[in-house]
């Protein structure tokens, strides 16, 4: 009951913030891109090029000592997303998760991976699970190897030969350790792009046969974060809708056999699919966007964004310039300007991470979620 009251309080508060009537409280969802280093050479993302001619730039990434100062000023959040680059190339990721558990106390920690450094990813995943179980055993941990196609077609999209086999191997190893770490959810995820949109039914059928706890997918987008704004990577609304219709049927057929956490996740996903299609077709914010209010994204260098789509183009500022004090940056003039930019409908996108929060804060959408759960 206390949890429900807290969520209802957040819903009311965020709506007032978006209208400019009250100062922003803390976000529900905090994403931290821990590094931009990545071994993949994806057709959908150019983030790996950042260090190609400037390897010293990695030295500019936030150190653990800096991260602790930042986390101390944030307070409780609900979802902690670790992103990249490739998160498991950061050897101190276990220390970062430890700090998150101590200061942010999230209910869910989510980590994607390309699975290329397979031995390192498995070892660090176990280290993370040990940390979580010691400090916050009720926290759910989802680890999601990325699978954009089957066999060599996956390797072609991701730009690394042999990557597909590593994805499957790491996923199987994650499933094997679930008996020891029951709060681990082993997922697979697909970025739907123009290179695989016509084969989604084949890919999804393969994924379902692997026994995934959940299957995530998102549409390939042009994002400031990924340095791909000049790339034609997004499928047409019609292509995406045809692909998504298959997912909708699959999710609905399997809902009743899922645990409550998985059923709730899938219920949100069903509403998201419909929302994403409408955004692509109508090219507008179909429901109000709370980026920079309910969600925040921090780059490896301390840039604070309302979302990764706007990213560097509409940054709220760099946390280092605010003495690592999140509160000062969050209530700054620049942060307000970014929120106003979003509120006026100057941008729109189907970014899944933000869309789930928007759904939670939109009455008609959350009613649809509840119906899906039931």
Read off the pLDDT band of 280 (50, 70, 90): very high
For residue 1, pLDDT beyond 60: no
For residue 199, pLDDT beyond 80: yes
Separation between Cα atoms, residue 350 and residue 241, nearest integer Å: 13
Q: Are 222 and 231 in contact (CB under 8 A)?
A: yes
For residue 347, pLDDT beyond 70: yes
pTM reported for the whole predicted model: 0.92
For residue 365, pLDDT beyond 80: yes
The mean per-residue pLDDT over the stretch 36-48 comes to: 93
Q: Are 330 and 25 in contact (CB under 8 A)?
A: no
Q: What does the pLDDT read at residue 54? A: 80
CA 182 vs. chain centroid, Å, equals: 22
Nearest CA to 32 among 55, 11, 61, 59? 61
Q: What does the pLDDT read at residue 261? A: 67
Output 259 or 200, whichever has higher pLDDT: 200
Nearest CA to 220 among 171, 265, 280? 280
How many Cα atoms sit within 13 Å of 158 on the Cβ side?
30
Output 96 or 224, whichever has higher pLDDT: 96
For residue 65, pLDDT beyond 80: yes
Separation between Cα atoms, residue 228 and residue 219, nearest integer Å: 14
Helices in the chain by DSSP H: which ranges? 2-18, 64-72, 93-99, 118-135, 152-158, 163-176, 200-209, 237-254, 260-282, 326-330, 333-343, 352-360, 363-373
Sheet holding 315-318, edge to edge: 214-219, 184-192, 140-145, 108-113, 79-83, 29-33, 295-298, 303-305, 315-318
For residue 276, pLDDT beyond 70: yes
For residue 226, pLDDT beyond 80: yes
For residue 222, pLDDT beyond 70: yes
Q: Are 183 and 141 in contact (CB under 8 A)?
A: yes
- What count of other Cβ atoms lies within 10 Å of the Cβ of residue 310? 24
Q: Tens of pLDDT along 129-188?
A: 999 999 999 999 999 999 999 999 999 999 999 999 999 999 999 999 999 999 999 999
Residue 306 φ/ψ region, left for φ over 0, alpha for ψ in the -120 to 50 degree band, beta for the rest: alpha
Separation between Cα atoms, residue 268 and residue 160, nearest integer Å: 33
Q: By mean pLDDT, which of 212-216, 323-327, 340-344, 358-362 is the weakest? A: 212-216
């Amino acid at each position: 009951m206390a949890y429900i009251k807290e969520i209802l309080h957040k819903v009311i508060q965020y709506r007032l913030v978006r209208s400019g009537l009250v100062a922003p409280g803390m976000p529900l969802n905090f994403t931290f891109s821990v590094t931009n280093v990545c071994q993949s050479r994806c057709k959908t993302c150019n983030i790996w090029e950042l260090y190609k001619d400037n390897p010293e730039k990695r030295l500019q990434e936030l150190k653990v000592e800096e991260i602790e100062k930042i986390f101390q000023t944030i307070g409780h959040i609900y979802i902690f997303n670790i992103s990249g680059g490739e998160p498991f190339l950061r050897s101190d990721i276990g220390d970062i998760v430890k700090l998150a558990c101590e200061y942010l106390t999230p209910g869910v920690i989510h980590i994607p991976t390309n699975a290329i450094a397979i031995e390192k990813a498995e070892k660090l995943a176990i280290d993370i699970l040990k940390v979580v179980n010691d400090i916050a055993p009720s926290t759910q941990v989802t680890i999601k190897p990325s699978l954009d196609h089957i066999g060599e077609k996956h390797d072609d999209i991701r730009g690394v030969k042999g990557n597909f086999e590593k994805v499957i191997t790491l996923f199987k190893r994650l499933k094997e350790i679930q008996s020891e770490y029951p709060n681990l959810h082993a997922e697979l995820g697909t970025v739907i792009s123009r290179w695989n949109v016509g084969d989604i039914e084949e890919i999804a059928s393969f994924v379902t046969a692997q026994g995934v706890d959940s299957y995530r997918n998102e549409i390939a987008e042009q994002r400031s974060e990924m340095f791909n704004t000049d790339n034609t990577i997004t499928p047409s609304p019609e292509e995406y809708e045809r692909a998504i219709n298959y997912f909708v049927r699959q999710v609905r057929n399997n809902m009743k056999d899922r645990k409550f956490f998985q059923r709730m996740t899938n219920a949100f996903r069903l509403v998201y699919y419909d929302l994403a299609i409408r955004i692509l077709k109508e090219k507008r914010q179909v429901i109000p966007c709370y980026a920079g209010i309910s969600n925040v994204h921090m780059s490896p260098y301390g840039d604070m964004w309302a979302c990764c789509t706007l990213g560097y183009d509409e940054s709220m500022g760099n946390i280092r310039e605010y003495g690592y004090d999140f509160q000062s940056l969050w209530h700054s003039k620049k942060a307000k300007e970014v929120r106003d930019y979003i509120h006026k409908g100057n941008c729109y996108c189907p970014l899944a991470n933000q869309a789930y929060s928007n759904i939670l804060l939109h009455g008609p959408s959350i009613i649809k979620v509840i119906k899906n759960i039931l």
